[in-house]
Amino acid sequence: MTTAGPAVRFEGVTKHYGDTAALAGIDLDIAPGSFVALVGSSGSGKSTLLKTINRLIAPTAGRVFIDGGDVAGEEPHRLRRRIGYVFQNIGLLPHMTVAENIAIGLRIDGRAENGRVAELLEMVDLPADFARRMPDALSGGQRQRVGVARALATEPDLMLMDEPFGALDPVTRDQLGERVRALHDQLGLTTLLVTHDMAEALLIADRVLVMDHGRIAADALPADLIAGKAGEEAEALVAVPRRQAERLRALERE
């Protein structure tokens, strides 16, 4: 299970809604096995870009490839089975137990559960007896953990995460972020994470893409971003966590 996840390639990917260019011609290569964070202001096109990969959105023009295969040539449901997808307020089915929610993809595939739910609960650091709980008896953080377990159930090698930690308190957010990064490494995934939190992006990802008006405005390693080497749009976002870190260090010295 240590092989790297797939490569993802965008070629001239454009998405128009009327006069709005949600994506204004994206050319981008994501390396196999990398963990890439997408940041940028609200409406810059992050979610739209993610959804062109699992075909929740069809580009107006351009193509998306996974390991060289054009996603447009794949049957959407089959495609989505090999791609994990986690989003904010994960939409667990309220009348099903945690176990049933996690196993839903396996059931659709006609695959036996075979202890997989217990294994997945352990992966996301939830106690085994949570399997019998109903979603409304979980905290927000626990629900997101179940969402991650559900996304991993069918053993995808590509994970798309759209603000998965958005509604969580900072401590839970940090713990879950670390867990997701550890699972990425352990399972050999390729992961794309949309986040509004630049500090999270810097700490969790191998590479950070800054989106602005449907374009990639910066594409940099976290160390280069924090060193101010990634241009103006990136600098505006990275200035906040940098200043906070400096103020915290100053407090420590007081």
Residues that bind ligand ATP (CB under 6 A): 17, 20, 22, 40, 42-48
Tokens for 151, please give them. Answer: 């996304």
Tokens for 197, please give them. Answer: 């939190």
**CA dihedral for 92, 93, 95, 98, sign (positive or negative):** negative
Least distance from ligand ATP to the Cβ atom of residue 29, Å: 20
Least distance from ligand ATP to the Cβ atom of residue 57, Å: 8
Rounded Cα distance between 136 and 154, Å, is 24
Please say which residue, 43 or 140, places its beta carbon nearer to ligand ATP: 43
Tokens for 192, please give them. Answer: 């794309």
**CA dihedral for 44, 49, 55, 56, sign (positive or negative):** negative
Please say which residue, 106 or 218, places its beta carbon nearer to ligand ATP: 218
Tokens for 147, please give them. Answer: 């969402």
Please say which residue, 34 or 48, places its beta carbon nearer to ligand ATP: 48
Rounded Cα distance between 208 and 39, Å, is 7
Amino acid at 131: A
9: exposed, middle or buried (C-beta count within 10 Å: 0-12, 13-18, 19+)? middle
Please say which residue, 23 or 121, places its beta carbon nearer to ligand ATP: 23
Please say which residue, 60 or 114, places its beta carbon nearer to ligand ATP: 60
Tokens for 174, please give them. Answer: 């940090």
Query: Is residue 210 classed as helix, strand or coil in its secondary structure?
Result: strand
Phi/psi-derived region of residue 80, left when phi > 0, alpha when psi is between -120 and 50, beta in every other case: alpha
Least distance from ligand ATP to the Cβ atom of residue 173, Å: 16
Please say which residue, 98 or 217, places its beta carbon nearer to ligand ATP: 217
